[in-house]
């Protein structure tokens, strides 16, 4: 992929990488009968299923209206949104609440996200690229599949499983930093030990020049897909009458049994023997209280779970 254009590189390095999150709860209220679902291997599943930039072709920004509905694109934009949303203020200080103006580098997936989140009233395009997309290289996709399969053979909570799961989730970041990417793999026996699996991964160091091959665009598009996927799920659950309480990057908490049927339909799109990217019920909370983002506790049967800024504590 050619991306030696300085403006394009500037866009990648300044794009918004964080995930979508929301909290619709009141911190002094205890909620009952709450379903807690997670996307399995969130970022790596997006890399596995979605398409990513192959080539960028810079065109005149004035042509945006003629290509926006039929091409993949990336550019520098000023957007005036229709409605306010708390999440807009989290986007790297790029949102001006007084003028309802959102400024930054966005791709076509971001436009779908922003349109669904708050609506777009007016668009001003300052720089524009048409984007040719494709699946990631087959070895990188096979690496994701191999590591995923190996983690499924381990008992939940084992150090080996957690390590490889963490590695899988970090693949998109490593590719974005362009330090290494996998060039070959070997998958033999299910009983292979961790050391053997790791040693059989062959890595090739690529150029230190950040303007070549796997650049920031992988991480940019991965996060864009993740934000849009979670928001679509939230909106659909709300449409069918569920009370959606909380969401953070790859998880969602809601009330309403009707949401289970919809999630089941989503999961049917993925083969039964391959759960990468499926929504999985982590817990059914009989009681839950959310204090703020990543700070909450809930009761699930005889188990009490406390989450405190990334640390999970379970008391049985």
Q: For 17-44, how does the pLDDT look when each residue is reduced to its tens digit (9 = 90+)? A: 788 999 999 989 999 999 999 998 888 8
Query: What does the mean pLDDT of the chain come to?
Result: 82
Buried b (16+ CB within 10 A) or exposed e, 66-83: eeeeebbbbbbbbbebee
- For the segment 146-158, the average pLDDT, to the nearest whole number, is 69
Per-residue pLDDT for 275 more than 90?
A: no
CB 281: neighbour CB atoms within 10 A?
A: 11
Highest mean pLDDT among 24-28, 141-145, 185-189, 253-257: 253-257
Residue 174: pLDDT band with limits 50, 70, 90: low
Q: For 197-242, how does the pLDDT look when each residue is reduced to its tens digit (9 = 90+)? A: 555 554 444 444 433 444 578 888 989 999 999 999 999 999 999 9
The CATH homologous superfamily for domain 17-41+226-315 is: B family DNA polymerase, palm domain (3.90.1600.10)
- The domain locations on the chain are 17-41+226-315, 52-134
DSSP state of 137: P
Rounded CA-CA distance 277/216 in Å is 22
Per-residue pLDDT for 178 more than 80?
A: no
Between 3.30.1770, 3.10.20, 1.10.10, 3.40.50, what CATH number should domain 52-134 receive? 3.30.1770
Q: Are 245 and 25 in contact (CB under 8 A)?
A: yes
Cα torsion for 308, 171, 19, 269, to the nearest 10°? -110
Q: For 81-119, how does the pLDDT look when each residue is reduced to its tens digit (9 = 90+)? A: 999 999 998 886 689 999 999 999 999 999 999 999 999
């Amino acid at each position: 992929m050619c991306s030696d254009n300085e403006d394009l590189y500037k866009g990648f390095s300044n794009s918004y990488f964080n995930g979508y999150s929301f909290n619709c709860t009141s911190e002094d209220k205890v909620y009952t009968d709450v379903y807690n679902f997670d996307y399995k291997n969130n970022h790596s599943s997006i890399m596995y299923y979605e398409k990513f930039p192959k080539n960028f072709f810079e065109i005149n920004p004035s042509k945006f209206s003629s290509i926006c509905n039929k091409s993949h694109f990336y550019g520098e934009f000023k957007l005036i949104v229709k409605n306010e949303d708390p999440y807009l203020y989290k986007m790297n200080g790029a949102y001006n609440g007084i003028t309802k103006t959102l400024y930054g580098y966005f791709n076509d997936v971001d436009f779908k996200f922003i349109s669904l989140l708050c609506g777009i009233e007016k668009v001003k395009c300052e720089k524009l690229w048409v984007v040719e997309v494709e699946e990631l290289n087959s070895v990188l996709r096979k690496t994701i599949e191999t590591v995923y399969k190996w983690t499924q053979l381990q008992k939940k909570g084992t150090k080996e499983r957690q390590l490889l799961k963490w590695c899988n989730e970090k693949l998109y970041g490593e590719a974005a930093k362009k330090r290494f990417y996998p060039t070959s793999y070997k998958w033999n026996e299910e009983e292979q030990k961790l050391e053997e699996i790791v040693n059989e991964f062959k890595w090739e160091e690529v150029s230190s020049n950040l303007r070549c091959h796997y650049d920031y665009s992988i991480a940019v598009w991965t996060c864009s897909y993740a934000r849009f996927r979670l928001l679509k799920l939230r909106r659909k659950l709300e449409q069918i009458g569920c009370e959606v309480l909380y969401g953070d990057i790859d998880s969602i908490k809601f009330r309403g049994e009707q949401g289970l049927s919809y999630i089941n339909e989503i999961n049917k799109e993925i083969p039964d023997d391959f759960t990468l990217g499926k929504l999985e019920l982590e817990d059914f909370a009989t009681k839950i209280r959310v204090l703020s983002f990543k700070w909450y506790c809930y009761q699930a049967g005889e188990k009490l779970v406390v989450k405190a800024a990334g640390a999970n504590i379970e008391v049985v």
